[in-house]
Structure 1
Amino acid sequence: MKDIALYIHFPWCVRKCPYCDFNSHEAGRDEAAYLQALLKDLEYEAQMWQGVQIKSIFIGGGTPSLASGQFYQTLLAAVKDSFPVTHDLEVTMEANPGALEYDRFEAYLAAGINRLSMGVQSFQDEKLHALGRVHSSQQAAKAFEEARKAGFKRINLDLMFGLPDQSLEDGLYDLQTAIDFNPDHLSWYQLTIEPNTAFYAQPPKLDLEVSHDLWEQGRALIHSAGFKQYEVSAYAKPNQECRHNVHYWQFGDYAAIGAGAHGKQTRDDGVWRYHKTRLPAHYLKRLDRVATSATPNGHPFTGQAHVLTREDREFEYFLNHLRLIKPVQKHDYESKTAGDWSVLLEKMKPLESLGYLTLNENSFQLTDDGFAFLDEVLTRL
């Protein structure tokens, strides 16, 4: 039986952050109506996938921690009724320290959520204010402590660097504070300015030189604390990698439910990418529609669906796989992209001469410089 993942999207938040380009909305939340739509969406997804079992679930947003424990109790029970799941199913929920009722942690755990990803971003209030976050550093600390007290053994802390007016000392302070809480996983990534965000319209002043120094010293600090980097921005204690994200980065298939949720399915006629209709109000209206076929484009909640070209498959494969701190293997590349390894080798030789990767006949792996200039590597492949 083939392993797949499941992504569930919760599209509402308390306030849209100025750097956020995700599908999130401040108004119009109706938990009961949204749950019914998710259940119907799930029903059609189950018809679309045959001979699979779910190995991981990721609940993203928006701010999924705005929903109640009962919401997830009902939803996750329906998932298990609709799909076989592995015995060690990983269920991650994103949680915002400013949108948490601490007594909900036990309810989330009882519902089957066994991993939290807390969007802390910084442990300094002035930096949180600049990022438009609704929580304080004190609330972040309390959220982590209450989650541990409730019984959560697997907690990721999300941190950002390269923030407006952030010094090297500021960034290292955030990292050390996070490390002192002893999480099993850290996601540490640089602030990027994305189109269709408030920061894109009015860009803050960012110091790239400080960011570069922080990247080098911060990684050393994280490694010295017992974390191993396994992806460009992900660091884990032994055996604590996020299995769901690794599945993405290895170009695995995944089902998707919720407004704007993206899925990927390998079928006899090719590799499909699909996403559900984006606006929550429009998504809710799809409840009355029926499926025209058990395919991504026949799903009543689908906004768009298409089969990837061979070139698209290769680009997406590298876009995902090159984030991982592990070699790209010839057999994996050829089986997932239908590409020609010998042609790829010729493209990689100039990158090897630049010091961006190490190369042999059956595999290649990025160097530290290759990760630092990943965008350039991708444009050359």
Structure 2
Amino acid sequence: MALNSSLNKVSLTALPPLSLYIHFPWCEKKCPYCDFNSHQIKEGVGTSSGFDEERYIKALIADLETELPRIWGRQVHSIFIGGGTPSLLSARGMDSLLSAIRARINLEPDAEITMEANPGSVEAEKFAGFAKAGINRVSLGIQSFQDAQLKALGRIHNGEEAKRAIAIALDHFKSVNLDLMYGLPMQTIDDAKKDIETALSFNTPHLSLYNLTLEPNTYFANFPPKLPNEDEIDTIFEQNLDLLTKAGYKRYEVSAYAKAGMECKHNLNYWRFGDYIGIGAGAHGKISFPDKITRQVRERHPETYMQSMETQGNALVESKDVATSDLPFEFMLNTLRLTDGVATNTFTERTGLPLNMISKGLHEATHKGLLDPNPSLLKGTTQGLRYLNNLQEIFLG
């Protein structure tokens, strides 16, 4: 769908909520399906942990300081520490990092502060330290509870370690999310059901379910395992949705399920086209101004990132204003993931552009049965969520 933006300029009457994303780039072992910016630690490099924690934290804080003039006076509502495996940080390092952040930004008093963790790196004493430092939400990369599937995925933990990690997390954090995957090598429909039932037995407030996909530039892309067929995948998804709904979870985003009031605030801000500072190796950021929306990208490799911060004072590889012709697709790419959608006026509030820029796409998507016909909502239908890529592509300029 062509978009004529020559007469349209960004004009925001209010800035959206602001979050902070921190990328931790190291992990103990690179998984064969992972396309995230993660680097396997090398023992003996920097410190006994295989990475120089103090040096990296120093670079992160310097990186944050470069962003302060761009977000001056704005409050940060959530922090998300992703990776990689951020739980490889020491509790002392986490406390140092969060203390330095609080000293530099206006952080909402009850801000959601999430850390991703690998079940294989969970220790009770360490989690107690993370909680004391200010982490109040943890996202555990469980993927499966069955050893055969975990081995096929290249995970370093087993099913019993996954269960132990969940129990420890529930003892220390206000909110716990379990990341699970389905459509795994050798996985049967019954296997998938057992994974969900095991997850539900812990009654965590949030679950994320991802269908394993073979991403480019991964080991699995080059050496694809045998996966369930499309009919089996559909059956597993419907089975999962039924079990979760009956257990009191609402599917509020394509891959996210939560008990009432326990949705991930940080991710909701992404999907509602909010702003976020991105610091750390390979981090992306999006910051709005009254007359423009900007995006930045940092150096991907941790060593190059740290050297750039130390020698140049920044690690940017890209910093640009988003073209008005790109904003409609970026907005719809995110918001259409939400099962309840967003109010139609959110488009203008968050892009600073008139709604008529997407009127042709709205008509086409509605006509195809992919978009809810309610004019006050931008919301995918059940069919639209099922064929989300098709729906989003309608708004691609």
Task: Judge conservation of contact 2:336–2:378 (CA < 8 Å) in 1.
Answer: no
Could you tell me which residue of structure 1 aligns to residue 223 of structure 2?
A: 202
Note if 1:373 corresponds to 2:387.
Answer: yes
TM-superposed CA distance for 1:24, in Å, is 0.3
Task: Judge conservation of contact 1:275–1:302 (CA < 8 Å) in 2.
Answer: yes
Structure with greater helix share of residues:
1
Note if 1:307 corresponds to 2:329.
Answer: no
Could you tell me which residue of structure 2 aligns to residue 25 of structure 1?
A: 39
Task: Judge conservation of contact 1:2–1:51 (CA < 8 Å) in 2.
Answer: no
Task: Judge conservation of contact 1:21–1:197 (CA < 8 Å) in 2.
Answer: yes
Q: For residues 74-113 of structure 1, what are the structure 2 equivalents within 5 Å?
A: 74-113=96-135
Could you tell me which residue of structure 2 aligns to residue 325 of structure 1?
A: 339
Paired amino acid for 2:318 = Q
TM-superposed CA distance for 1:2, in Å, is 6.3
Paired amino acid for 2:175 = R
Greater shift in the superposed pair: 209-218 or 328-337: 328-337
Paired amino acid for 1:211 = I
| C-alpha separation in 1, matches of 2:364 and 2:272 | 25
TM-superposed CA distance for 1:112, in Å, is 0.2
SS for the counterpart of 2:27 is coil
Paired amino acid for 1:352 = T
Could you tell me which residue of structure 2 aligns to residue 186 of structure 1?
A: 207
Instruction: Give unmatched runs, 5+ long, in structure 1.
Output: 292-299
| C-alpha separation in 1, matches of 2:115 and 2:180 | 16
Could you tell me which residue of structure 1 aligns to residue 70 of structure 2?
A: 48
Task: Judge conservation of contact 1:2–1:52 (CA < 8 Å) in 2.
Answer: no
Could you tell me which residue of structure 1 aligns to residue 239 of structure 2?
A: 217
| C-alpha separation in 1, matches of 2:199 and 2:87 | 21
Could you tell me which residue of structure 2 aligns to residue 356 of structure 1?
A: 370
TM-superposed CA distance for 1:70, in Å, is 0.7
Could you tell me which residue of structure 1 aligns to residue 4 of structure 2?
A: none
| C-alpha separation in 2, matches of 1:48 and 1:286 | 20
2:139 paired residue among 88, 104, 117: 117
Greater shift in the superposed pair: 10-19 or 333-342: 333-342
2:81 paired residue among 53, 59, 62: 59
Could you tell me which residue of structure 1 aligns to residue 253 of structure 2?
A: 231
TM-superposed CA distance for 1:82, in Å, is 0.4
Paired amino acid for 1:324 = L
Could you tell me which residue of structure 1 aligns to residue 180 of structure 2?
A: 159
Paired amino acid for 2:117 = A
TM-superposed CA distance for 1:88, in Å, is 1.4
Greater RCO, CA 8 A, separation 6+: 2
TM-superposed CA distance for 1:357, in Å, is 2.1
Note if 1:130 corresponds to 2:152.
Answer: yes
| C-alpha separation in 2, matches of 1:245 and 1:343 | 26
Could you tell me which residue of structure 2 aligns to residue 296 of structure 1?
A: none
SS for the counterpart of 1:20 is coil
Q: Deviations over 1:162-215 (max 9, x none)?
A: 111211111111011000011010001111111110011111222221111111
| Alpha carbons of structure 1 residues 127 and 312: separation in structure 2 relative to 1, 3 Å | same
Q: Deviations over 1:95-135 (max 9, x none)?
A: 00012233201000000000000000001000001111100
Task: Judge conservation of contact 2:118–2:140 (CA < 8 Å) in 1.
Answer: yes
Paired amino acid for 2:191 = D
SS for the counterpart of 2:251 is strand
| Alpha carbons of structure 1 residues 347 and 40: separation in structure 2 relative to 1, 3 Å | closer
**RMSD between aligned alpha carbons?**
1.6
| C-alpha separation in 2, matches of 1:241 and 1:129 | 30
Task: Judge conservation of contact 2:253–2:339 (CA < 8 Å) in 1.
Answer: yes
Could you tell me which residue of structure 2 aligns to residue 336 of structure 1?
A: 350
Q: Deviations over 1:265-299 (max 9, x none)?
A: 112451111111110010110233455xxxxxxxx
SS for the counterpart of 2:337 is coil
SS for the counterpart of 2:375 is coil
TM-score, scaled relative to structure 1: 0.94
TM-superposed CA distance for 1:48, in Å, is 2.8
SS for the counterpart of 1:251 is coil
Any runs of at least 4 consecutive aligned residues in structure 1 with deviations exceeding 4 A, and if so which? Answer: none
Identity of aligned residues (%): 43
Paired amino acid for 1:163 = L
Q: Deviations over 1:59-94 (max 9, x none)?
A: 000000011111110110111110111121100000
